[in-house]
Amino acid sequence: MKKYFWGLSLPVFLIITSFNSSKPADNPIVIVIHAGAGNMDLSHSKPETRKPVEDKLNEALELGHKVMVNGGTSTDAVEAAINVMENAGIFDAGKGAIFNSDGKVELDASIMQGKDLKAGSVAAVMTIKNPITAARAVMEKSTHVMLVARGAEDFAKAHGLEMVDNSYFYTPGAMNEWKSLKDKENQIRKSGQNFLPETNKWGTCGVVALDKYGNIAAGTSTGGVTYKKPGRVGDSPIIGAGTYADNTSCAVSCTGTGEYFIRLGVARDITNMIVYKGYSLQKAAAEALAKVKALGGEGGLIVLNKNGQFVMDFTTNAMNRGYIDQNGKKEIKIIR
């Protein structure tokens, strides 16, 4: 019995040892970001006005990529890159976000990881400096997926997240826009009509990432749409609408008129088209956006799968966007 044991197990042991000594190759690392889709007056789009946006997209991309090169996960990269954009003061996320009709900033964010379908989100929060970090805390430190308003803020505070006064988020641009909309509303109300503001502000931030462990993740952070009603929640914090990630299909982050993305469950719809209809990323993205357009909405999205293939698509004339692909190639673009 003993002889048999050695006779059989030694070669097996050697084979196992030699397998272990050859380290498996790392998976590709990819990061794709957007900072909102919209219709801009292209005659006003000059290189010098685009530069600050391009510089911040570059900083976010580089940081998210570095996080993964240094061994961080796609979830770490999504959070780090979105934090850069939330702190920038020039996007509709975190500092710089648009005002609601009460003249306050109310923020939404969500995050999801493709390896285990874990997700977290916060909505209508007014004092959490980095809503994407709060969304991650909900995912990792609670048994829930979504917390809103005061409950989300209490949770964030209890978990040591940085809290700020609502005025921290104000920027002169967002404040001036609110004031002129308020004046317009007052005039229109005087004439007995309803005020329906155009929801054309853009700057929502989203990231999809693939790490060297072969896992994808997605995240989205926003201040929502122009002059929204207090308490209005868009698609960005809704898992399946503005954000979704599943290693078996893809990671998605959307931007645009959120009500349409909610009604169509756009992010989840894309994964379903890939899994159940065998669509390519390109075809699924285009079809999802065509459905949004058919209902009267507009927007864009970024999609990435675990092979490192990705798509950035939009129905508007511009979308702030960029990527670093698996060969290290980087590109940042705003207009088509």
Q: Which of 131/224 has CB closer to ligand ASP?
A: 224
Q: Which two tokens stand for residue 133?
A: 């970090």
Report the residue from 113, 249, 255, 320 that binds ligand ASP according to the rule CB under 6 A.
255
Which run of H or E residues covers position 319?
strand 318-324
Size of residue set near ligand ASP by CB under 6 A: 14
320 lies in the site for ligand ASP, by CB under 6 A: no
| Per-residue contact flags (x/-) with ligand ASP for residues 29 to 48, judged by CB under 6 A | -------x------------
Residues in the chain: 336
Phi, psi torsion values for 98, nearest 5 degrees: -70, 165
Report the residue from 73, 222, 243, 320 that binds ligand ASP according to the rule CB under 6 A.
222
From 75, 199, 204, 257, active-site residue: 204
CA end-to-end distance (rounded Å), the chain: 73
Q: Which of 215/253 has CB closer to ligand ASP?
A: 253
Q: For the chain, give me the number of helices (H) and strands (E)? A: 9, 12
Residue 82 CB coordination number (10 Å): 32
Sole window of 74-82, 250-258, 273-281, 319-327 interacting with ligand ASP (rule: CB under 6 A)? 250-258
Q: How far is the CB of 92 from ligand ASP (least distance, A)?
A: 6
236 lies in the site for ligand ASP, by CB under 6 A: yes
List CB contacts of 228: < 8 A, sequence separation 6 or more: 98, 100, 101, 106, 199, 234
Q: Amino acid identity of 87? A: N
Q: How far is the CB of 128 from ligand ASP (least distance, A)?
A: 16
100 lies in the site for ligand ASP, by CB under 6 A: no
Phi, psi torsion values for 146, nearest 5 degrees: -135, 130
Is the separation of the CB atoms in 120 and 139 below 8 Å? Answer: yes
Report the residue from 32, 85, 218, 225 that binds ligand ASP according to the rule CB under 6 A.
225
Clarify whether 204 is annotated catalytic: yes
Q: Which two tokens stand for residue 171?
A: 């920027």
219 lies in the site for ligand ASP, by CB under 6 A: no
- Range 123-133 burial, b when 16+ CB lie within 10 A, else e: bbbbbbbbbbb
Q: Which of 73/255 has CB closer to ligand ASP?
A: 255
Report the residue from 114, 224, 265, 297 that binds ligand ASP according to the rule CB under 6 A.
224
Report the residue from 72, 256, 297, 322 that binds ligand ASP according to the rule CB under 6 A.
256
Radius of gyration from C-alpha coordinates of the chain: 22
| Per-residue contact flags (x/-) with ligand ASP for residues 52 to 91, judged by CB under 6 A | ----------------------------------------
Phi, psi torsion values for 19, nearest 5 degrees: -65, -45
d(CA 85, CA 89): 8
Question: Catalytic residue positions?
Answer: 204
Kindly list the residues in this chain that would bind ligand ASP in the complex (CB under 6 A). 36, 92, 202, 204, 222, 224-225, 234-236, 242, 255-256, 258
